[in-house]
Chains A and B, each alone.
Chain A
């Protein structure tokens, strides 16, 4: 090919290679991460892994451009995001011994996945273009993709950041020479029940660095929760006398601050919807006018019509799934309330990840399940069915926003990314639910024809402490929550009080304060503190050294912090799994 012809060849973007590679990688990651989640109790992010593997594999195939690679990682993470949604919810139903339809679960997860993607159509404009939320992981993936052309210095800083965060994780997890967090509270003489420690997760500090000043209300919320409210609660005698020592922290966190934090998150988000209504409405209007001006580039985005059709289709799918469990009449309120909650929770999670990179997925699923238990009169299978849709959907919202942020920074066309996600997102629920099915049935039935549980603390493998024990700790946590709600112990007073507080915070002129303060109460203080160190450092560096220094030096280093820890965690998890 002549040089001139080479310069004019079509630019590979939404290619078959990207589609097939992204889908294959997504399917492999989903089934592997479901297994990891059931065994170890945590999910793993797929975007960074997919971005790096994409470079290697697609380049080997002779293409692998920056934007093509972004499409591949978008597809892979869109499929993989279902794994964390499904492992938190569906196994709880199996552990509770409930009867349900597997087909309904696949339909529900697919409805959630689909709704998560289409909800993002107007939110992309509002959060990325109008509010300019930072989405630290999205920025980190963009730094990886751009590293080839970003100059040696940026690539070097990315590598140094990755090496530092990866090494610190190895020193904590494998060599055991570093603690997971520094007990700064002990050094300063602050009571242990405040949980004042600095998490040594360099990834967390990196996310704070990228968030900068915008993340400071989150730190303020943590300080208020753990240094003001917690000591006041202890001195007011709210801790039962039988609870002493280290258990005081657990009582404060699980019984008081966390449920209040969930309430604030919801109230803050409701206030945010009202405050953001003009922006969302403007986003829909600009989408509609852009669609009419396709010659001017309007075809770069999906239209408001797609949003309408997509949402209707997803609600219909959720209705069909619900009807299989609760019948056609009760399925109407279940599907409508479930869809409304999914939309609100999707906004909460997208905003929280945009501001902090932290996703309050379990709290949102818990509220969804609680709502459904109230609507269906305590039908656990219906509640978890909606929980599955909510978890998968809000995960999809957060992932899609991160991917679109990456896409904006590398110049991807949003429409192509969204179409790729819509056409492949259904694979995730099929694979995730299918993997859970296979793992649950892996030991077959006993002599009486009774199913032998494939996972859970009561499964034979775990009782015998075998290497293939899958204790499903996340599902166990949801199981405990469901039993609490069914037993009438849901902390509705704290949800209400927190909700009103979140609504009041919505009156402030700065958007998102309620979500950030709620998130700070929802999380242990060590995470907030580590993140706060990053925020303060990022703010200081941007103010003192300028925006250009921040982009040239801080962004690649912080991106390296995020990428290095994510990749090292994946490798260490693989080693743990292989070693049994």
Chain B
């Protein structure tokens, strides 16, 4: 119900202000155009803007409440996701340390990490930012991204037939991820 009210307010607000903003205006000068437009459409336009702001306030309140709900209650627990990512990256490294690394299983494992824990960690952004602030989240996700990019590099270089470079990339990925902790307030 709350969501219906929010979207109704938002739709009505954009509709009213968009309609008023698009109104044709005839005036001799540029400043004249603005004053004519304000006198003809100003009231309806600002009612629309007020509705958008009201919708935004309601949406922000709901988002804040959701972000403050316990992380453990969320669909995925970030600490479990991070642990799964570290474990997966270590498995990739182990696979590459074999005398003859098996390309397909290693590549499948990397694809699985990207579509699994990494994607799920990215989806925790709003709650992490609400709890720990943008800078802490940025530092955390930068490390995850660097790890992800190096895993992707291991994928490409392995497929290209350069297992030594794939190993170096997987080592760098593990280096970035191994000591990584979830942001703390």
A residues in contact (CB < 8 Å) with B: 6-11, 65-67, 125, 128-130, 132, 145-146, 148-149, 151, 220-221, 224-225, 228-229, 232-233, 238, 255-257, 260, 263-264, 278-279, 281-283, 285-286, 289-290, 296-297, 300, 408-413, 488, 490-494, 496-498, 500-501, 504-505, 507-510, 517, 521, 547-548, 550-551
Contact = CB atoms under 8 A, between A and B. Distances in A.
21 contacts: A66-B159, A67-B157, A146-B155, A148-B159, A149-B155, A224-B14, A279-B134, A282-B137, A282-B139, A286-B138, A411-B157, A492-B30, A493-B34, A493-B36, A494-B22, A497-B20, A497-B45, A501-B52, A507-B57, A550-B115, A551-B114
Contacts of B22: 229, 233, 256-257, 260, 494, 497
B64 to A, nearest CB: 9
B33 A501 contact: no
Contacts of A255: 24
A411 B156 contact: yes
B160 A66 contact: yes
Which residue, B63, B149, B161, has most C-beta atoms of chain A within 10 A? B149
A553 B81 CA distance: 24
A67 B153 contact: yes
A413 B32 CA distance: 53
Contact of A505 (B36, B52, B122, B160): B52
Contacts of A501: 14, 17-18, 21, 48-49, 52
A550 B175 CA distance: 30
B71 interface: no
Contacts of B21: 260, 263, 493-494, 497-498, 500-501
B184 interface: no
Interface residues of B, number: 76
Contacts of A551: 111, 114-115
A258 to B, nearest CB: 10
B152 interface: yes
Nearest to B114: A551
Interface of B: 10-11, 13-15, 17-25, 28-30, 33-34, 36-37, 41, 45, 48-49, 52-53, 55-57, 59-60, 63, 103-104, 107, 111-112, 114-116, 119, 122, 125, 133-135, 137-139, 141-142, 145-146, 148-165, 169, 172, 175-176
Contact of A492 (B11, B13, B33, B59): B33
Contacts of A130: 125, 137-138, 141
Contact of A496 (B18, B34, B149, B155): B34
Nearest to A251: B24
B37 A493 contact: yes
B11 A224 contact: yes
A551 B154 CA distance: 18
A5 to B, nearest CB: 10
Contacts of B157: 11, 65-67, 411
A128 B15 contact: no
Given A257-B22, A497-B17, A497-B41, A411 B33 contact: no
Given A125-B138, A232-B15, 11 more contacts: A8-B164, A125-B142, A129-B138, A233-B22, A278-B133, A411-B152, A493-B25, A504-B53, A504-B56, A508-B56, A547-B115
B90 to A, nearest CB: 18
Given A128-B145, A411-B152, A224 B15 contact: yes
A10 B125 CA distance: 38
Which residue, B20, B134, B156, has most C-beta atoms of chain A within 10 A? B156
A285 B172 contact: no
A218 to B, nearest CB: 13
A289 B149 CA distance: 18
Contacts of B11: 220, 224
A256 B138 contact: no
B18 to A, nearest CB: 5
Contact of B142 (A6, A286, A547): A286
Contacts of B150: 297, 411
Given A129-B141, A411-B169, A488-B29, A229 B125 contact: no
Given A256-B24, A297-B175, A411 B154 contact: yes
A206 B165 CA distance: 34
B2 to A, nearest CB: 14
A220 B17 CA distance: 15
A129 B137 CA distance: 11
A550 B160 CA distance: 25
B15 A229 contact: yes
Contacts of A220: 11
Contacts of B151: 411
Which residue, B14, B154, B163, has most C-beta atoms of chain A within 10 A? B14
B18 A300 contact: no
Contacts of A233: 19, 22-23
Nearest to A374: B30
B28 to A, nearest CB: 8
Contacts of B36: 493
A169 B14 CA distance: 36
Which residue, A504, A517, A550, has most C-beta atoms of chain B within 10 A? A504
A2 to B, nearest CB: 13
